[in-house]
Structure 1
């Protein structure tokens, strides 16, 4: 059966620049070989919802109509990949703003907390491109559609892995209700706090659920069972309040 929008699929892929350099892959060994391995990343295939924007637009569109087991590649222009470069993010600055004065085109630099790459050097001034390294690039994705996910539990676990980086979280489903057991540490994760409403929304839309329950799960092994000492906690709160007052007092008057 052909892949269509709304399908949950397992997708393996490798993304390359036009010169053949690899910038992303679900193949762990290849990532290590190309020196782009992320120890916190998930390898072995991503579970994505076709048409939900979980991959770049050009790849997402190319998935539709393919069969399970399909392997191929697609060339994607910047406007359907990572977007065009923004000329406003290309700035010319004095070399004195750089820690390393031995500059040359292609050198990664950090200026006022922003990361960029030097594109040109003219005398004592340098042009720095603060765009994402992927912006404005035509890219090629080689990919394989491994399978379509059918069960509700696998769909939920796959979506959670995509948003949290954690595989096989405990999930129960019955009568259109999903109970998702969240480790205590995750409840304080900023990424998760921003993503959980989207996870629920996508499960309602694509997994035919009518209710999603996020349940905090605490076990005897949880490090968070040990509360902060009252005095230490009070000291931290006092410090936080003092820092807040300092920041407010330092704001310029209008």
Structure 2
């Protein structure tokens, strides 16, 4: 009997996979296939949430599977504390305060955080710093290319 346990995804497995994330309406949210650059990760390294990793456990090379995750198990629900009201003067002609714009904001530690302009009212701009897919039901389609 051949031992295939090394080819089954478990904790600490190195996995190379293609994935597609789709919203409930079927629209694409993210895909490694766009640029034909598969993702490489180690189960448990923190690159994926526990819920996404749990979908992969037990799969093996060549498997294709689709999972539907509720918001709590995907990118979470929007946190009202992540909505901030900023002065319109903080925006420039190169980075205008227009509803729907996704902009990078500098943090005190020098890192950048993405925010989505949700509302512009007079001199006040409401920026949402939640993950763009927060509150969304996500379909996670995977194709396992290799497992080590």
Same fold flag (TM > 0.5): yes
Structure 1 segment 52-91 matched on structure 2, within 5 A? 53-91=46-84
Q: Structure 1 residue 14 and structure 2 residue 20: aligned?
A: yes
Provide, for residues 10-64 of structure 1, a one-character-per-residue CA deviation record: whole Å limited to 9, x for no partner: 3222223334123241x3xx238xxxxxxxxxx2452x34455442322211122
Q: Separation in 2 of the partners of 1:112 and 1:9?
A: 33
Q: Separation in 1 of the partners of 2:15 and 2:51?
A: 17
Q: Separation in 1 of the partners of 2:105 and 2:47?
A: 31
Q: 5+ residue gaps in structure 1? A: 33-42, 150-254
Q: TM-score, normalised by structure 1?
A: 0.44
Structure 1 segment 166-177 matched on structure 2, within 5 A? none
CA contact (8 A) 2:22 2:138 kept: yes
Bigger CA radius of gyration: 1
Q: Separation in 2 of the partners of 1:144 and 1:97?
A: 44
99, 102, 106: which one pairs with 1:108? 102
CA contact (8 A) 2:16 2:38 kept: no
Give the secondary-structure state (helix, strand or coil) at the position aligned to 2:35. Answer: helix
Q: Which has the higher helix share?
A: 1
Counterparts in 2 of 1:148 and 1:141: CA distance versus 1, 3 Å:
same
Structure 1 segment 154-169 matched on structure 2, within 5 A? none
Larger RCO, structures 1/2 (Cα 8 Å, 6+ apart): 2
Aligned to 1:130: 129
Q: How many residues in Structure 1 have an aligned counterpart in Structure 2?
A: 135
Aligned to 2:118: 119
Aligned to 1:210: none
Q: TM-score, normalised by structure 2?
A: 0.68
Q: Which has the higher strand share?
A: 2
Aligned-pair Cα RMSD in Å: 3.0
Q: Separation in 1 of the partners of 2:65 and 2:15?
A: 16
Provide, for residues 114-148 of structure 1, a one-character-per-residue CA deviation record: whole Å limited to 9, x for no partner: 54211112233221112232444332221112333
